[in-house]
Amino acid sequence: MPEYLSPGVYIEEFESGGVPVAGVSTSTAGFLGLAQRGEAEGLPELVTSFADFQRKFGGYLPENQFGEYRFLSYSVEHFFINGGSRCYVMRATPDDAKSSVNEVYDFIKFNAKNQGSWGDRIRILIVPSSKAKTQIFEDFENGQYKLKSSIGFNEGDIVEFIDGEVKQINKVIMVQDNLVTFEKPFEGEVIDSEILPTKLLYTKEINIQISYGDEVENYEKASLNISKSNFIEKLLKKSNLIEVKVDSDFIKDTVTPFLKFAGEKPDREKVWIDLTDGSDGSLDKLSPANFIGSDNGPGKRSGIKSFIDNDDVSIMLVPGVTDPSVQLDLIAHCENKANRFAIIDIPKEIKKVNDLKQWRNMFDSSYAAAYHPWVKVFDPVDKTNIFIPPSGSVAGIYSRSDNTRGVHKAPANEVVRSCTSLDCQYSKGEQDILNPIGINLIRAFTGQGIRIWGARTLSSNAQWRYINVRRLFIFIEESVKRSTDWVVFEPNDAELWARVKRSLDNFLTGVWRDGALVGSSPSDAFFVKIDNTTMTQDDIDNGKLICIIGVSPVKPAEFVIFRFTQFTAEASGE
């Protein structure tokens, strides 16, 4: 409580109402798969367009190298084509993938930022430069000189004194104001106090240009002085293309940075450095472990586990990877996080109904849905049509449906954009068998295009049969969770309970008005209970606030039935 120690008027503010509950996004997808480039460890990268994906992860992978593991790029492309707006992408790599390197020099090693043959197309241009220049005003002998300005000169810098055509190389030992001590005295007369001097002292650095296709990075005034802020290792940490490692044992001699690269050809004006020996890896070294990933702690996770720290993703998929171990791990990840939904691809070669039923028996989860068959799209690389897994397109449709209708609308009876045909066509009779067990078919209808014609999860529990019901609960639960942090450590009394209830009532009323809940009034659509009936004194003593929320979600009209009979005026008595 505030203290009042002298007479006066005091103004206080306090919060009496509930804090609004904001709805979370449900349309952000998380992709995992093989790519040309990109980090395979750490946090997934945000991608907002297919062009953005190409800049960060490269283009399409060749079929002859990775077969049906190559579909990440195609799936991300069709995610955006079908209405997706943003996603997070994580790269997986085979065990034998290697980064491109250059180990020509004993004092420095360049390597591509991450694995892949893409690094072999990186070129590095080195040219000499100078960060600072000045005049020498006074010679104190024994290598100590007073400079006009010592700004830009640091201990360990390699410098060059130029008097006409005469050049001398030296190293800075100590700097104190404008008094600088060098490794050795300069030869000859070095004093020049003229307004337009002819004798100048320069620091020696290099400019670096790194190019990869149309992507170019420029770093100016890089130094080999490890104590400087423009030390080459520190400067190139910003690079998206390469990494640099300097061996300090080989940079202690008095040689200018450029001459270290020019070597036996000191008259060169520039030096080109190429990286080699990069590898995308091979199919033989690819296993489910590469996609499942490893948990080596924050910032070091890979595969599916790299999405543990990402709370923005609400849809998860590993396009084209149909290994049961990977799919079961993906579903387990979604169930454990409880704030995302998995889209599963069925193996392309499985087409018979009995085989599909057998495949389906491996799964039972309300946090996943399966789609079949694969869809035919145009491949801009081979200039022909190919079949790709449907999960990327389906994720885009989820996003499109969420943004246009809401997460409560079943993402079905929606056109699959940029799809010319299907790998196989199933009949109504075959769907009569597959739909009840949770296999969502994509079908072509005369005059209506190619559409998703199923909205079921892979759950055996009838309460969680429909995708939109599970995703609506994810939306409500995650929205409440993220917007009620303010409640933690507040006094657990009736006043707090009333504020929490008011916040939840307002939020759920908005959800009901959007058409996500069944009922002619809010009281028919949901209830919020938070009082002495929902928690005991023991709960309160143990720091628990228990709130029970019930909602009545809308279910899709999956079976539309029109019943006909003959009608005559005589039969009706008119």
Who's near 407: CB < 8 A, 6+ residues apart?
A: 26, 468, 471, 472, 475, 516
- Does residue 325 sit in the same domain as residue 461? yes
What span, in angstroms and rounded, lies between the C-alpha atoms of 404 and 535?
40
Residue-wise over 414-423: b if at least 16 C-beta within 10 A, else e?
bebbebeebb
- Does residue 362 sit in the same domain as residue 498? no
Do residues 276 and 102 lie in contact, with contact meaning Cβ atoms separated by under 8 Å? Answer: yes
In a domain, 476, yes or no: no
Do residues 467 and 369 lie in contact, with contact meaning Cβ atoms separated by under 8 Å? Answer: yes
Decide which of 183, 203, 223 is a domain's last residue. Answer: 203
* DSSP secondary structure of 269-302: S-EEEE-B--B---GGG--HHHHH----STT---
What is the model's pLDDT at position 63?
Answer: 86
- pLDDT above 60 for 540: yes
- Does residue 319 sit in the same domain as residue 388? yes
Domain that holds residue 264: 101-128+206-274
Do residues 470 and 477 lie in contact, with contact meaning Cβ atoms separated by under 8 Å? Answer: no
The fraction of the chain above a pLDDT of 90, given in percent, is 82
Using left for φ > 0, alpha for ψ between -120 and 50, and beta otherwise, residue 331 falls in: alpha
Nearest to 34 by CA among 387, 279, 241: 279
- What does each C-alpha distance from 541 to 219, 486, 489, 536, 544 come to in angstroms? 61, 20, 13, 9, 7
In a domain, 5, yes or no: yes
- Does residue 85 sit in the same domain as residue 231? no
What span, in angstroms and rounded, lies between the C-alpha atoms of 200 and 159?
10
CA 328 to centroid of chain Cα atoms:
22
What span, in angstroms and rounded, lies between the C-alpha atoms of 471 and 341?
7
What span, in angstroms and rounded, lies between the C-alpha atoms of 37 and 118?
7
184, amino acid identity: K
In a domain, 475, yes or no: no
CATH number of the domain within which 228 lies: 2.60.40
- Does residue 213 sit in the same domain as residue 229? yes
* DSSP secondary structure of 78-127: HHHHTT---EEEEEE--TT-B--EE---SSEEEEESSSSGGGGG-EEEEE
For residue 376, the cross-strand partners are 387, 421
What span, in angstroms and rounded, lies between the C-alpha atoms of 118 and 313?
28
What is the model's pLDDT at position 1?
Answer: 65
What is the model's pLDDT at position 570?
Answer: 67
Decide which of 469, 503, 526 is a domain's last residue. Answer: 469
Q: How many CA atoms lie within 13 A of 506 on its CB side?
A: 14
Say how many Å lie between the first and final Cα of the chain, rounded: 82
The two three-digit tokens of residue 299, written as one number: 């910032």
In a domain, 166, yes or no: yes
In a domain, 3, yes or no: yes
Nearest to 29 by CA among 373, 356, 334: 334
Long-range residue pairs from 439-444, CB within 8 A, at least 24 positions apart, any chain: 439/346, 439/356, 439/360, 439/370, 439/372, 440/369, 440/370, 440/371, 440/372, 440/412, 441/371, 441/372, 441/373, 442/371, 442/372, 442/373, 442/375, 442/390, 442/416
Taking residue 34's Cβ as centre, other Cβ atoms within 10 Å add up to 29
Residue 571 — very low, low, confident or very high, per pLDDT cuts 50/70/90? Answer: low
Residue 566 — very low, low, confident or very high, per pLDDT cuts 50/70/90? Answer: confident
In a domain, 477, yes or no: no
- Does residue 365 sit in the same domain as residue 258? no
CATH number of the domain within which 180 lies: 2.40.10.170
What is the model's pLDDT at position 26?
Answer: 94
Do residues 146 and 297 lie in contact, with contact meaning Cβ atoms separated by under 8 Å? Answer: no
Query: What crossing angle do the helices spanning 50-57 and 72-81 adopt, rounded to 10°?
Result: 160
Torsion of CA 362, 364, 368, 374, to 10 degrees: 30
What span, in angstroms and rounded, lies between the C-alpha atoms of 511 and 525?
10
Helices vs strands, H then E, count in the chain: 15, 27
Using left for φ > 0, alpha for ψ between -120 and 50, and beta otherwise, residue 116 falls in: left
pLDDT tens string 113-143: 999 999 999 999 999 999 999 999 999 988 9
- pLDDT above 80 for 246: yes
- pLDDT above 60 for 573: no
- Does residue 323 sit in the same domain as residue 436? yes
The residue behind tokens 């690094």 is 119
What span, in angstroms and rounded, lies between the C-alpha atoms of 191 and 168?
14
pLDDT tens string 74-115: 999 999 999 999 999 999 999 999 999 998 898 999 999 999
- Does residue 314 sit in the same domain as residue 397? yes
Could you give the number of structural domains in the chain?
Answer: 4
- Does residue 194 sit in the same domain as residue 210? no
- pLDDT above 60 for 276: yes
- Does residue 520 sit in the same domain as residue 546? yes
Decide which of 187, 203, 219 is a domain's last residue. Answer: 203
Q: What are phi and psi of 329, to 5 degrees?
A: -70, -40
Residue 240 — very low, low, confident or very high, per pLDDT cuts 50/70/90? Answer: very high
The two three-digit tokens of residue 356, written as one number: 């599909």
Q: What does the radius of gyration of the chain's CA atoms come to, in whole angstroms? A: 33
What string of H, E and C letters represents the secondary structure of 161-180? EEECCEEEEEEEEEEECCEE
- Does residue 105 sit in the same domain as residue 36? no
- Does residue 137 sit in the same domain as residue 182? yes
In a domain, 482, yes or no: no
**Cis (ω within 30 of 0) for the bond into 373?**
yes
Do residues 144 and 180 lie in contact, with contact meaning Cβ atoms separated by under 8 Å? Answer: yes
pLDDT tens string 180-233: 999 999 999 999 988 898 999 999 999 999 999 889 999 999 999 988 889 999
Mean pLDDT of the chain: 93
Q: Checking DSSP bridges between strand 315-317 and strand 341-345, what pairing results, if any? A: parallel
CATH number of the domain within which 370 lies: 3.40.50.11780
In a domain, 252, yes or no: yes
The two three-digit tokens of residue 332, written as one number: 């387990």
Q: How many CA atoms lie within 13 A of 479 on its CB side?
A: 22
pLDDT tens string 391-416: 999 999 999 999 999 999 999 999 99
